Amino acid sequence: MKKTLLIFLVIILFLVFIWQNNNNPKIIISRLVKKGAIGSGDLKYKVNLFGIIPAGEAVFTAEKTEDYNGAKVYHLNASVRPLKLYSGVFDGYAIVDSYVDVRSLNPLLFKQNVKSPGKEKPEKEIFYDQVKGVMTLDGVQRQILPNTQDPLSAVFNLRHMDLSKIKEIEMNINTNQKNYILSGKIKERTITVKKQLYKIAVIEAVIRRRDKDPYHKSNVTFVFLEGKENIPVLIRVFASGALVTAKLID
């Protein structure tokens, strides 16, 4: 009995240790500092199921300025792939692109390419007309709310806000059929790493349908290292009964 209890306690302590390493902003920032100065550029994340089990890697590519239909845009790109050790079990990926107007920071085009078992249509393109308040998907127009974002452009906007002057956020999001709202509160903290102070902003947010359908709701937590450009060091998403986390590793 005592041996079983001891093994159980060791497992619990081991899981707590892994959780802390994957979800403690101070530990994450400390490891990044050891690699050098933390700045903008391509961002690489380790994706973990339930904050513990390694599942994949995600990369947010630094924005590039391009021309799109005569307008200057920021081209944003992100991709998620499973770890190689799962290649024999699951072969999939997700690649998304967003083309954001440099003046309004609103998306003009969102592209998605997802390979996943059971997904019939992997590719999707959404065109936004922010002036007319419509988006077009598969030739069908749908009404959208002012300053509607896609997931990539929403994070891009958060990265370029002065979070020290904001207590709450609210964004309209639509990449399918229904209008969603991302709303949450911002709390600032100061942490010390190697005798240096770092300001972080923690955003506890909810993404839900505007019609308040209780079955379409996700909880999202962003932890940003504040600066001229806010760097997301940790992202947690709880949806459909599952927790997925992404910590910045490079």
Query: Looking at the domain assignment, is residue 15 inside a domain?
Result: no
Number of domains in the chain: 1
Query: Looking at the domain assignment, is residue 178 inside a domain?
Result: yes
Q: How far apart are the first and last CA of the chain?
A: 44
State the pTM of this model: 0.89
Q: For 223, list phi and psi in degrees, rounded to 5.
A: -120, 115
Query: Looking at the domain assignment, is residue 230 inside a domain?
Result: yes
The pLDDT of residue 35: 84
Query: Looking at the domain assignment, is residue 26 inside a domain?
Result: no
Percent of the chain with pLDDT over 90: 57
CA distance 49 to 42: 23
Reply yes or no on whether the pLDDT at 8 is more than 80.
Answer: no
The pLDDT of residue 65: 96
User: Among 83, 44, 30, which residue's Cα sits nearest to residue 191?
Assistant: 30
> pLDDT tens across 239-249, in order?
888 899 999 99
The pLDDT of residue 17: 60
Which is more confident, 104 or 195? 104
Query: Looking at the domain assignment, is residue 6 inside a domain?
Result: no
| Angle ∠(118,82,121) on CA atoms, nearest 5 | 30
Query: Looking at the domain assignment, is residue 5 inside a domain?
Result: no
> pLDDT tens across 190-241, in order?
999 888 899 999 999 999 988 777 777 899 999 999 988 999 999 999 988 8
- Residues spanned by the domain of 179: 41-248
Query: Looking at the domain assignment, is residue 218 inside a domain?
Result: yes
Query: Looking at the domain assignment, is residue 139 inside a domain?
Result: yes
Rounded to 10 degrees, what is the CA torsion of 52, 19, 208, 74? -80
